[in-house]
Amino acid sequence: MEPPNLYPVKLYVYDLSKGLARRLSPIMLGKQLEGIWHTSIVVHKDEFFFGSGGISSCPPGGTLLGPPDTVVDVGSTEVTEEIFLEYLSSLGESLFRGEAYNLFEHNCNTFSNEVAQFLTGRKIPSYITDLPSEVLSTAQTAPTTEVSSAPDGVSALGRSLWAITQLSSLKGPKLPKGI
Amino acid sequence: MARAREEAGDSQLVSGRESSSRIIRVSVKTPQDCQEFLLAENSSVLRFKKQISKYLHCDTDRLVLIFSGKILRDQDILSQRGILDGSTVHVVVRTRLKGSVCTGGLAGPTVHCTHRPEPPTSDSAGVLVRLGRLARTSPDLGDFFSQLVQLLTTAPESVVQFLEDPLIQGLANEKQGNGLHVPESSKSVQKRDPALKFPETFQKPGRQQEVLQEHKQRLEAPKAVPGGDNALRPGCSDIHQIMLSTLALLVASRGHISGSEMCRGEATNAHCSSDPSTTIPARLLAQEVSTGGVTQVKGILASQAISGCRPGILDLHLGSDFPFQENQQLVEKAPPVGHPRPSPSALCRALNILQQNPALLHQLATGSPLLHHMPLLPILTNPRALQALLQIEQGLQILSREVPELEPFLWDSAKPCGATGAPETRGRRQTHREDTSQHSLAYQHHSLANVQTALSLPLLNEGRYQQELEQLKALGFTNHDANLQALIATDRDIHAAIERLLGSPQA
């Protein structure tokens, strides 16, 4: 039997704050955040990510964010593009519908983690998946008065995170209706 | 789980002769949920699949098990593949029988795409990426875009989204006197846009029918407005050209082409030079979906008009799959883009010029007397032509100011003064012209200031061309204005100017 092809799987990591989080987080949150991470999985020469519009894809580096800040080598996979796409469709109909998007609980990094495990059995670096809990945990400990009176107690940085992600770049091309 | 244990027991009996037959707990993860299974660690994958297929109620043939990035073959033994107690195995249930699954790679994406059943609704992500893959691998982008059509037809709301963008409305509303007609006209423009560009790609008759129906309805609406039909066409062509150009420029200005999932950069790059006319608009449209261009473009574009346009267009693309819907009927109606195909770099230059002259964009949209019967694209893509056009506009304005009685003549689209003649008479526009002439003049006045500051080349500086002008006069070209225009257009190349003067009278 011929050896199956191996396809590289990469994780593209973007800092949504473009460095601002690193500089401002100590002030605003009382702890150091290295960045506000948005991630996507690149495999089969395509970049896949999850946003409020559901699962989207584009050529690698083809989002508004431009080229990634970091590229993490997740590993290799035997999963062919065909199977992968079917998998993504199923995901998009179940766990990762557009409306399922939640900035803290079920976001792009959740998706990247899920897909990375599917493709390679490995998870993405924990500093990315731990980010929401990091941010949320600052709501109680922030020394400043930035803690908003928002119902969920999320700090101002959290709100601005929300604003960033809502505003622009995470909206990939929407999947056609019916997904 | 009792059933699973039974199965495990079976496998234990069967494989009892073999070495260890420890029962392990393996999690099976589907896109929908996660389920644990107990089975012997040295059972085969096939047995495992049977268990899973009972649980999922599907054929074992359709199951694909993936562990640690590896696809598990039926004859594999779980423990040999490293599946231990507590491991998680991923499962994908194929909607088609697995043909080339285990051999890896893409087995003829073109074939797959064309054999795919029509409705993309259940498989949208797959379709989108598949189409992209197709574009990447298919040498014929026309096929690709026909697949595109299929998807487009499923997302009509995207068109509405695009049209509701304030800038589009703004562009449209500049045409005073058209009022209601204008939003519809812009709608038709957008619909026509792809129609123009994809006439050859309309390959699926079934879809065609649907789309045609859809578009018929949409077009009936504007046409139902009195006079709407008349207002549509001239308005549409301008807006269409402008939108087309700006979109193309946007894409070209990115340098490298990064498209949406529908449009693979490599393929489109390769095809760009070979068939820019058809592929550019399609590409640019599709590439607008790629959000990559926005930041760059926003940086580039200072013009409010254009930048206002950008988020609109890009949001459109961002928020939708494809705003373009085809209507074959429109193909023959709309002005064909039969002129020499613009290269991306030319479009890029045109974009820069448009960027420098935000007023120009408005000007083009609002309509000067010249522009409605001239295809804009060749002008936009030829910087010298653009300059000539600006000069013409200036000249007309000056004339109308200096000699007020010329106004009706100037604004009569039949014969713009000083230009090389445009034979069309359009009575229906005349009233509109007169009404808006004041506004347009003031507007042009304002825009002129912008234009002059933006363009570094001296306008109306005949001194540069004095020598050439005299030469032309000596040769018998007595129309001083035409000579000047020709010289400007050809950048003082007297031979080209002569050819131009001898050739088409159209600017």
- Whole-model pTM above 0.95? no
Q: Residue A116's pLDDT is what?
A: 92
Question: Tokens 């999922």 map to which residue?
Answer: B56
Residue B347: closest CA among B287, B421, B392: B287
Given 1.10.4160.10, 3.90.550.10, 1.10.8.10, 1.10.3720.10, which CATH number is that of B462-503?
Answer: 1.10.8.10
Q: What is the pLDDT of residue A71?
A: 93
Nearest by CB to residue A85, choosing from B130, B292, B320, is B130
Condensed to tens digits (0 to 9), the pLDDT of residues B459-480 reads: 445 567 788 888 888 888 888 8
Which range, A114-123, B13-22, B176-185, has the best average confidence (pLDDT)?
Answer: A114-123
Do B213 and B348 touch, CB atoms closer than 8 A? Answer: no
Tokens 């894409």 sit on residue? B251
Chain A neighbours among B 460-499 (CB < 8 Å)?
Answer: none
User: What pLDDT is attached to residue A158?
Assistant: 58
Q: For residue A9, what pLDDT is reported?
A: 93
Q: pLDDT at position B356, please?
A: 63
**For B411, how many CA atoms within 13 A lie in the half-sphere containing its CB?**
23
| In this structure, CATH architecture of domain B23-93 | Roll (3.10)
> Residue A41: its pLDDT value, please?
93
Distances (CA, A) of B232 to A88, B33, B93, B116: 43, 53, 50, 38
The strand pair at A70-77 and A7-15 is best described as antiparallel
pLDDT for the residue A119 = 92
Contact A89 B66 (CB under 8 A): no
Look at the alpha carbons of A15, A16, A20, A21 in this order and tell me if their dihedral is positive or negative: negative
User: pLDDT tens digits for A121-130?
Assistant: 999 998 888 8
What would the pLDDT profile of B31-78 be if each residue is shown by its tens digit?
A: 888 888 888 888 888 888 888 888 888 888 888 889 888 888 888 888
Domain ranges across chain B: 23-93, 342-412, 462-503
Length of chain A in residues, anyone? Answer: 179
- Reported as a single tens digit per residue, the pLDDT across A61-85 is 888 888 899 999 999 999 999 899 9
Strand partners, B135: none
pLDDT tens-digit profile of B230-240? 444 444 444 44
Interatomic CA distance for residues A106 and A55, integer angstroms: 12
Quote ipTM for the complex: 0.76
3-state SS assignment for residue B435: helix
d(CA A15, CA A34): 9
Instruction: Please tell me which of B83-92, B225-234, B424-433, B496-505 the model is most confident about, judged by mean pLDDT.
Output: B83-92
Cα A18 to chain centroid, rounded: 15
Cα gap B400→B445, rounded to integer Å:
12
A28-53 average pLDDT score: 87
The verdict on whether A38 is a catalytic residue reads yes
The model's confidence at residue B83, banded by pLDDT at 50, 70 and 90, is: confident
pLDDT of residue B136: 52
Query: Which residue ranges make up each domain of chain A?
Result: 7-169
Chain A 119-178, residues with CB within 8 Å of chain B CB atoms: 119-122, 168-169, 171-178
Pairwise pLDDT comparison (B7 vs A11), residue with the higher score: A11
**pLDDT-based confidence at B14, cuts 50/70/90?**
very low
| Distance separating alpha carbons of residues B360 and B446, to the nearest angstrom | 10
Structure confidence at residue B402 as a pLDDT band (50, 70, 90): confident
State residue B322's pLDDT score. Answer: 37
Dist CA B471 CA B453 (whole Å): 31
Residues A104-141: tens digit of each pLDDT = 888 899 999 999 999 999 999 988 888 888 777 765 44
Q: Give the mean pLDDT of B281-295.
A: 40
What is the average pLDDT score of chain B? 56
Q: What is the pLDDT of residue A95?
A: 86
Three-class secondary structure of residue B112 per DSSP: helix
Convert the pLDDT of each residue in A143-177 to its tens digit. Answer: 444 444 444 444 555 565 555 544 444 444 444 44
CATH node for A7-169: 3.90.1720.30
Quote the pLDDT of residue B399: 84
Predicted local confidence at residue B304, as pLDDT? 39
CB burial of residue B387 (10 Å; 0-12, 13-18, 19+) = buried
B157 touches chain A (CB under 8 A): yes
How far A50 CA sits from the closest chain B CA (Å)? 11
Instruction: Name the pLDDT band for B393 (thresholds 50, 70, 90).
Output: confident
What percent helix, strand, coil does chain A show, rounded to 5? 35, 20, 40
**pLDDT winner (highest mean) among B233-237, B261-265, B492-496:** B492-496
Q: Please give the average per-residue pLDDT across B412-438, as a whole number.
A: 41
Number of other CB atoms surrounding residue B266 within 10 Å: 14
Q: What is the pLDDT of residue B153?
A: 52
Q: How far apart are CA B379 and CA B242, in angstroms?
A: 11
Single out the residue of B435, B227, B246 nearest to residue B353, CA to CA. B246
Give B-chain residues touching A91 at CB under 8 angstroms: 31, 125
Q: Is B348 in contact with B383 (CB distance < 8 Å)? A: no
To test the contact with chain B by mutation, choose from A82, A164, A166 the residue with the greatest count of B C-beta atoms within 10 A, namely A82
The pLDDT of residue B373 is 53
Residue of B nearest to A111 (CA): B31
Q: Which residue has the tokens 């423009």?
A: B189
The pLDDT, as a whole number, for residue A145 is 44
What are the structure tokens assigned to B28, written together?
């099976």
Report whether pLDDT(B267) > 60: no
Helix (H, G, I), strand (E, B), or coil: what is residue B422?
coil
Amino acid at B472: L
**Closest to B124 measured CA to CA, from B285, B320, B324:** B320
Which pairs count as long-range contacts for B472-479, CB under 8 Å and 24+ apart, including other chains? Answer: B472/B497, B472/B498, B472/B501, B477/B501
Decide: helix, strand or coil at residue A51.
strand
3-class state of residue B455 by DSSP: coil
Which H or E run contains B488?
Answer: helix B480-489
Instruction: Return the axis-axis angle of helices B205-224 and B141-153, rounded to nearest 10°.
Output: 60
**CA separation for the pair B366, B458 (Å, rounded):** 25
DSSP line for B257-316: ----TTS-HHHHHHHHHH-HHHHHHHHHHHHHHSTHHHHHHHHH---HHHHHHHHHHHHH
Which residues of B are less than 8 Å from A59 in CB distance? 132, 258-259, 261, 264-265, 290
Residue B481 Ramachandran class (φ > 0 left, ψ -120 to 50 alpha, else beta): alpha
State the pLDDT at residue A46: 92
- B104 contacts in A (CB within 8 Å)? 4-5, 78, 80
pLDDT reading at B489 higher than 60: yes
User: Rounded to whole angstroms, how far apart are CA atoms B507 and B4?
Assistant: 81
